[in-house]
Structure 1
Amino acid sequence: MSRPAWDWRLSDLSNVQKNGRMVFSCFSCGGGSTMGYKLAGYTVLGNVEIDPQMMRIYRQNHKPKYPFLLPIQDFKALPNQELPPELFDLDILDGSPPCSVFSMAGDREDKWGGEHAFREEQAVQRLDDLFFDFLDVAEKLRPKVAIAENVRGMMVGKARGFISLVLSRFRELGYKPQLFLLNSATMGVPQKRERLFFIASREDQNLPSLQLEFNEPPILYGDIRSGEGSPINPDSKTYTRWHKRRPPDLNMGDVTEREEGKMSNFNTILLKDQKVANTLASSSVFLRTDQPRHISDMDAIRMQTFPSDYDFMDANVQYVCGMSVPPLMMKKLAEQINLQWLSEK
């Protein structure tokens, strides 16, 4: 009996037929997008990553031909003659610029324009500028297609003006951009994860508009649930609140609002076997509804459709998964781009 698509291994990639398309990944983190492209038959030549720990993990799992451990601002400033010629003949330039300033959580608009370190060990950067740094790389390398992924929050409130600036910049560079809001739950991923994709083709190719429609059946948490997970600390407020949950509650915020009159803990999610899991964020807390336990690492791996033999080394499993594009989500997208745009007629 064949395994479901979400139950796969890195070793399976050796059986995937190559399509001859070349990709380079920016802001690669643990390589969620990289694995999606590889599952779709692409060759990923290398990556740019600022985080030393993520680069160690990326090297361990993906063996990139051309890894660049440096800020994207430094990468785009490298003289063209110092870069491999292959990077100037890309089919796809891929990137997921860090998106915390567009998150729906907290006082997000207060963060715009400020300088932040995305996490410890990283350089301080203006995170809302990173999208335009990525576009500068597109201007430098001139790939056939550029793909940038970001959070749904970019479509809300004042951030919509940022979208207009990004689209205008794509057009200035000679690209025809399209914008897609995709839900991973319709793409074979056991998780409701809405993400915004900017997909742009170079104008000189005269390609038609990309058509995307995904209707995979939902995969419930109970279908992928595995292992025990760590118990909730019995001395914690979370444990007390967990015992006060009611069937309609979706998260611990529903409990605290009802029982304590507080608006907090909405980032602590209650997972039900008969429901599709919520977005796996790097900072979220996921609790099982039917037992006082957190989800297991394998649950997180399967929710994000990472391979079961992925080597997380010294990193937190949920952090790496939550910071990545689900590989099966990118696989579905990459397949359509090859089918509709890159394949020879």
Structure 2
Amino acid sequence: MKKMSEWNWSLDKIKDVKKNDFKVVSCFSCGGGSTMGFKLAGYEVIGNVEIDPSMMKLYKQNHNPKYPFEMPIQEFNRLSISKIPKEFFNIDILDGSPPCSTFSVSGKREQKWGGAFSFREGQAKQRLDDLFFDFIETADRLQPKIIVAENVVGLILGKARGYVSAIIEAFDEVGYTTQLFKLNAATMRVPQKRERVFFVCHRKDLSYPKLRLELHEQPITYGAVRTGKGRPISQESETYKRWKKRRPKDRNFGDIMKREIGRDTNFSTVIFKDQLVPNTITASSMYLRNDVPEFISNEDIIRIQTFPYDYDFMDQNVQYVCGMSVPPIMMKKIAEQIYLQWLK
């Protein structure tokens, strides 16, 4: 019998994973990408905090959390101790991906710093620059043994590096030693060149050694995960006209536009080629197949993000949910190493 690929899995598999008796609380949980990663590594995720009602609906449908908190992280931090489950205090791992899109490498990001934004209609506006410090306040209150926080790689580039120093200092002030890792999902059995920064912290009273996250697994190409028919590109559209002008070396429409008009633009319309590892899946970019005039399929997106094939997206956009989530297999690999090196 042919062994199934690691990215090709179902939610049913979680019940067969050997449990390790360690517990996790997830903040900014979105669709539960990191939650699924921890579960695949044997942890129990007992609760979550999520601001978006649509995402919480999805989270409940697919993960059935024991303690769901649908509210902004700031409101959670203001709850009285009596309203927070006792299991949350001194939890083994506090997980979180504080949204920091203002530190993305795209656009004039410095102009966005300090502003209040919401990711989509119906969601409360928040100062995204502050969310990491709100998360650190949560850690200070709950005093988990370990903290895992994921964020965009733009956080460690240019002027944003001062922000990283402030984060590490804030963790230190509330009693945590921090290690910073820049990781590429493509080295972790995820079919995607997704670079992300991970802050992995432990409480200072715990004598853990330096964590090593040296993962160099064989990359997976788009051709290995490609499936289903994608939505056709309308032949009347500008997208089709530009797609027709592609050349073998072009990776995105930025390459085409630079050749056509002499400047970089439209680089978020990406061309996927069977022989290459897919680019990062984001919530808003466009992804096209190179050999046929089609967008990549939803099934492609699910596989590239290593979501389970039976995940119930309900009425939500597949690309949005996946693009806003941590790839489960990426978090699984990190969680396995935390267990092996620190907790076992």
TM-score by length of 1: 0.98
User: Which residue pairs with 1:22 in the alignment?
Assistant: 23
Distance 2:24 2:220 in 1: 29
User: Which residue pairs with 2:179 in the alignment?
Assistant: 178
How far does residue 118 in structure 1 lie from its aligned partner after superposition?
2.2
**Identity percentage over the alignment?**
60
User: Which residue pairs with 1:269 in the alignment?
Assistant: 270
User: Which residue pairs with 2:279 in the alignment?
Assistant: 278
Q: 1:12-65 deviations in whole A, cap 9, x for unaligned? A: 111101100100000000000000000000000010000010000000000000
Aligned partner of residue 178 in structure 2, secondary structure = strand
Ranges in structure 2 where 5+ consecutive residues have no aligned partner? none
1:294 aligns with 2:295: yes
Aligned partner of residue 25 in structure 1, secondary structure = strand
Ranges in structure 1 where 5+ consecutive residues have no aligned partner? none
User: Which residue pairs with 2:239 in the alignment?
Assistant: 238
How far does residue 261 in structure 1 lie from its aligned partner after superposition?
3.0
Distance 2:4 2:277 in 1: 19
Distance 1:91 1:119 in 2: 32
Matched residue count: 343
User: Which residue pairs with 2:192 in the alignment?
Assistant: 191
Distance 1:263 1:214 in 2: 33
Aligned partner of residue 158 in structure 2, secondary structure = coil
Q: 1:157-177 deviations in whole A, cap 9, x for unaligned? A: 110000000000111111110
Q: 1:164-196 deviations in whole A, cap 9, x for unaligned? A: 000001111111100000000000000000000
User: Which residue pairs with 1:200 in the alignment?
Assistant: 201
2:233 partner amino acid? I
Aligned partner of residue 49 in structure 2, secondary structure = strand
Distance 2:176 2:143 in 1: 9
Q: Which aligned pairs between 1:1-345 and structure 2 lie closer than 5 A?
A: 1-343=2-344
Distance 1:16 1:329 in 2: 17
Aligned partner of residue 149 in structure 1, secondary structure = strand
Distance 1:291 1:210 in 2: 45
Q: 1:276-328 deviations in whole A, cap 9, x for unaligned? A: 00000111100000000000000000000000000000110011001000000
Distance 2:319 2:191 in 1: 15
Distance 1:256 1:163 in 2: 34
Distance 1:229 1:134 in 2: 39
Q: 1:110-155 deviations in whole A, cap 9, x for unaligned? A: 1111111122111111001000000000000000001110000001
Q: 1:237-283 deviations in whole A, cap 9, x for unaligned? A: 11001011000101011111212334311000000000000000111
Distance 2:315 2:284 in 1: 17
Aligned partner of residue 182 in structure 1, secondary structure = strand
